[in-house]
Amino acid sequence: MQLVTEENITDLAAERWASAGDPRLAQLMTAFVRHLHAFAQEVRLTETEWMAAVQWLTRAGSISNEKREELILASDVLGLSMLVVQMNHRLDPRATPATVLGPFHIEGSPELGYGGDMSDGVPGTPLLVHGRVRNLAGNPVAGAVLDVWQADTDGAYESQVPDIDEARLRAKYTTREDGGYCLRTIAPKGYTIPMDGPVGELIGRTAISHFRPAHVHFLIDVAGYEPLITHLFQEGADYLDSDVVFGTKQELVVPFEPREPGATPDGGSLDRPWLEARYDFVLQPRG
């Protein structure tokens, strides 16, 4: 029998996890064990701190549901989400950069036509976002589905608004033959990440800003191209340089130009001032 000591426990644990039948699982778990043990040794982790971490993870799991994922939020604020994005989406420099999904994406958004209004009565300054989806060669990509979602002018997503049982500030749009898309919504607002859970409690004990700059989320999918998860950020918005989830990229910062009442890019019109954002998404071929 080999006695367990502080000096050999890491090797013993890694050796056991190396027995996984799946080679990739064995690689992941042995590396995880070694890094986890190294962290505990570096900081001389106490039993009280270890238990606090276990309880924190338990609470983060308990608060999560189909509309809120606290552990994704934890990954976001630790920079892990963006690191994984960067490593797995090493796109051509001409392609639109990828960013984090975030914890508030909801499946099954309604499909709207060109210029459809996903705000549908939600108060705020009208915003029309339009442009084209194209490939690296500049050719239009027809039939691309843009899954779009955002927060309201109070910085709240649908899942954070009590008693909402229908889609709110989210929709899907499909590009036309010329790659064109146009969506109508309201101008987003910079907002704080949820501070009412374990992640917020931890952030609150630091000097880290818990705000995100104003943005709209996009998930773009079409056969033959790499799926793209990204944001568009409002030029001049607060917190662009201190985004709590590290998602801001210069290529994704777009001016929201003020417009007077009148004709809109979708062929309609508005009887009040509105904002216009133009952006062409560039997709990278799959494979």
User: 108-163, pLDDT tens digit by residue?
Assistant: 999 999 999 999 889 999 999 999 999 999 999 999 999 999 999 999 899 888 88
pLDDT of res. 204: 96
pLDDT > 90 fraction of the chain, expressed in percent and rounded: 89
Q: Of 192, 195, 202, give the one whose Cα is nearest residue 56.
A: 202
pLDDT of res. 160: 84
Band (1; pLDDT cuts 50, 70, 90): low
Give the Cα separation of 212 and 219 in Å (integer): 18
pTM here is: 0.89
> How confident is the model over 138-147, as pLDDT tens digits?
999 999 999 9
pLDDT of res. 74: 96
**Residue count (the chain):** 287
Band (215; pLDDT cuts 50, 70, 90): very high
pLDDT of res. 70: 93
Give the Cα separation of 85 and 97 in Å (integer): 10
pLDDT > 70 fraction of the chain, expressed in percent and rounded: 100
Asked if 198 and 70 touch (Cβ cutoff 8 Å), the reply is yes
pLDDT above 90 (res 73)? yes
Centroid of chain to Cα 63: 19
> What is the SS3 assignment for 95?
coil
pLDDT of res. 41: 98
pLDDT above 90 (res 2)? no
Q: Which residues of 96-114 are buried (b: 16+ CB within 10 A; e: fewer)?
A: bbbbbbbbbbeeebeebeb
Give the Cα separation of 137 and 224 in Å (integer): 14
> How confident is the model over 219-253, as pLDDT tens digits?
999 999 999 999 999 999 999 999 999 999 999 99
pLDDT above 80 (res 287)? no
Structure tokens at 65: 């549901």
pLDDT of res. 111: 98
Average pLDDT, the chain: 95
Band (104; pLDDT cuts 50, 70, 90): confident
